[in-house]
Structure 1
Amino acid sequence: MPQELKGICAAACTPMSDDGAQVDYDRLKTHLDTLIEAGVHIIAVCGGTGEFPFLSTEEKRRIAEIAARHIGGRTRLIVQTSAIRTEDAIEASRHAEDLGADALLVLPPYFEGPTPDGVFSHYEKIAQAVKTPIMAYNIPVHSGFDITPDFFKRLQQIDNVKYIKDTSGNFVRLQELIAAGLPVFNGADPFAFHALVAGARGCFWGAVNAMPRQAVELYDLVQAGQASQAAELWKRMLPANLFFWNHPYNPAVKAATNLLVNKVGPCRQPVQPLSDADLRELDAALQPLR
C-alpha cells in the first residue's frame, strides 16, 4: 500500500520563456531540481500556481511527463487533472496514473457547475476509472462549489478519495476539517504555520517556489515540537505570504521566484506582470528572506 502523503507540497509554477509565449522545459527541470534539493516532500504540477487554465492539453501532458521522468522518485508527485467534463478529467487522470503519479488533484466541475449530487458523481466516475489516490481541491472562490466537511465526508465513501486541499482561506473551516479527522492539506498562504500547528497533514503551497528551504524548515520545526523557533521563522516568511495572498497570485509568486530562486519567466498572457509599484512592495516583503 502506498505511503500516505504528508509534508510540504510545492505547487510548482510553470516556467515560461522570457516573453511568456512558450513553456520552458529546461527551466522546469532546473526548478524541479531546486525544489527537490531543498527537501520538499511533494511536487504538484499543472495546478493553479502552474497556470493550468492557460496551458494547452498537450502542454499539460508534456509537463506531467517531464516532471514524472525528471523527478524519478526523488520526491512524491501530484498531477492536477481537473476538467469541467468528466470524460476529460478521466482522460487526464489515466494519463497521470500511467506516469506513476502519487495522487491526482481534482476540482469540482467549475463555472455554473452541477449540484452536489452531480459533483459526487463526477468524483465517483473518475475514481472508478483509476486506482491512484484523489485529492479533492476546494477553492470555492474560483470553482463556485464549496467542499464542506460534510460533503468531504460523503466523498470519502468513494474508496480512493483520500485527501482534501482546502484553499477556502477560512481558518475555521480548516480546523473543522481537521477536527473531523480528515486528511487536510492547507492551501492558504497567510496561515500555513498555524495550519501545521493545528494538525494539517501538510501545506500545498505556491509560495514554496520562492522559499523552498524555509518552508521545509518550518514543517520540520513544527513536527519536532519546536513551535517557538517555527514562529520566529514564520515572522520572516509572513510578509511575502501576505503579499502573495493580497495581490495577483501567480505573477507575485513568479516575480518572487525570479528574484530569489530561479528564472521561471513571467506568466502567460493575458495575465499581466506586477506593476513597478507592486514590485517595490514585493521587494520589501522579501527582505527578511534574503
Structure 2
Amino acid sequence: MTDLTGVCVPICTPFKDSGASLDLKSFEANIDSLIENGVHIIAVNGGTGEFPFLAEDEKRKLAEVAVKRANGRAKVIAQTSAIRTEDAVENSKHADGIGADALLILPPYFEGPGEAGVRWHYEQLAKAVKTPIMAYNIPVYTQFDITPEIYARFSEIDGIKYIKDSTADPSRIEKLAGQGAKVFCGCDFLNFFAIVNGAAGLFTGSGNVAPALIRKLWDLSKSTEYGEAEKVWAKLRPISRLLWTLPFNPVAKAGSAMTGRPAGLCRMPVPPLSAEEMKHVEDAVAALSA
C-alpha cells in the first residue's frame, strides 16, 4: 500500500430539500471536479463534510459513493470516529470493507479519557481493520491534545500511520515532521508553511474552493520553486484565512458554489452566511484570479 501524500480535500456534503436529504448527484460531480483539478486525496465525512449533522447511514452512503466514484483516480479517506469505541470499530470496519485508503479517527471526546484510554481506543481500532489510521488532532473540540510526544508513542501501534494536526500551531508541523511523522496540516492558513517544513500532505477545506491552485502550490513548493509558489499563495491567502475567521463550513460551501461545485447550504442548526459575510467570500474568491 502506497503512502498517502499531497493535497487532501475534505469534501463538502451537498444537501437538497432544505437540508432534508443528500444530493448525491452533486456529490459525484464535485468529486469528479476535484479530481480533474489535481486533488490527490478526497476525505469524506470530515468536519467540512458536516459529520456531526449526518445520520450513520448517510455517512456510510457517502463513503461508498466516494470510493466508487473516485475509482482509483484519487485516494479516499473516510472519517469514522465515534465516542464509543465499539461504534468507531463498526464505522471503521465498514470503511475498511468498501476500500477506503485510510481512516481519519478522533480520540473519544466530551469528557473523554486521558492518554492511556485514548491509546486503548486506537489499539482496538487498529486490531479491527487493515486500513491505515490517521489520528485526528483537534484538541479545541476533543479536549485531548495528541502532542508530538504522545503521537510518537501512538505510532508504535501497528496501523497508526498518519496524523492530521489542526492545532493551528506551526511548531507542531515542524516537530512532527522532524521526528519522522507523516503529518497532514489541518489548518488552511498554514498550508504554504507546512509544505516547506516537511508535511506529508495538506488536509485543506479551501480545496473545495480552489483545488487547482492548491495543487499548483503543492507542486511548485515541492519543486522548490518558492518564488512562484509565493505568488500562488498570495492568491490563496484570503480564502485560507477567511475559513478560519468566519464560520468554516458555510464559507467552504459558498466558495465551492462560486467556483463551480454547488453543495447547497449547511444543514441546520448551522445557519447561512449573512449578506456581509457573503461579500467577504466573494472578495476572497475574486482574489483567486487576481
Superposed CA RMSD: 0.8
Q: CA deviation at 1:20?
A: 2.1
The DSSP-based 3-state class of the residue aligned with 1:251 is: helix
Q: CA deviation at 1:18?
A: 5.6
Conserved? CA contact 1:79–1:96, under 8 Å:
yes
Q: Establish whether residue 64 from structure 1 lines up as the match of residue 42 from structure 2.
A: no
**2:161 match:** 162
Structure 2 residue runs of 5 or longer lacking an equivalent are: none
How far, CA to CA, are the matches of 2:97 and 2:259 in structure 1? 34
| Aligned pairs (5 A) from 1:178-193 | 178-193=177-192
**2:30 match:** 31
How far, CA to CA, are the matches of 1:32 and 1:247 in structure 2? 25
**2:142 match:** 143
Q: CA deviation at 1:60?
A: 0.3
The DSSP-based 3-state class of the residue aligned with 2:107 is: coil
**2:126 match:** 127
Deviations for 1:251-288, whole angstroms, at most 9, x for unmatched residues? 11001111112111010000011111111122112212
Task: Name the stretch that deviates more: 15-24 or 76-85.
Answer: 15-24
Conserved? CA contact 1:38–1:213, under 8 Å:
yes
| Aligned pairs (5 A) from 1:80-159 | 80-159=79-158
**1:3 match:** 2
How far, CA to CA, are the matches of 1:274 and 1:86 in structure 2? 35
Conserved? CA contact 1:18–1:265, under 8 Å:
no
**2:234 match:** 235
**1:55 match:** 54
**1:20 match:** 19
Conserved? CA contact 1:7–1:42, under 8 Å:
yes
Q: CA deviation at 1:111?
A: 0.7
The DSSP-based 3-state class of the residue aligned with 1:147 is: coil
How far, CA to CA, are the matches of 1:104 and 1:92 in structure 2? 10
Q: CA deviation at 1:23?
A: 1.1
Number of residue pairs the alignment of both structures matches: 289
Conserved? CA contact 1:29–1:70, under 8 Å:
yes
Task: Name the stretch that deviates more: 131-140 or 257-266.
Answer: 257-266
> Deviation above 4 Å: which 4+ runs of structure 1?
none
The DSSP-based 3-state class of the residue aligned with 1:101 is: coil
Q: Give 1:83's aligned amino acid.
A: A
How far, CA to CA, are the matches of 1:275 and 1:142 in structure 2? 25
**1:263 match:** 262
The DSSP-based 3-state class of the residue aligned with 2:42 is: strand
Q: Give 1:58's aligned amino acid.
A: D
| Aligned pairs (5 A) from 1:240-251 | 240-251=239-250
Conserved? CA contact 1:110–1:144, under 8 Å:
yes
How far, CA to CA, are the matches of 2:251 and 2:78 in structure 1? 22
Identity over aligned residues, as a percent?
48
Conserved? CA contact 2:176–2:183, under 8 Å:
yes
How far, CA to CA, are the matches of 1:20 and 1:273 in structure 2? 12
Q: CA deviation at 1:85?
A: 0.4
Q: CA deviation at 1:66?
A: 0.8
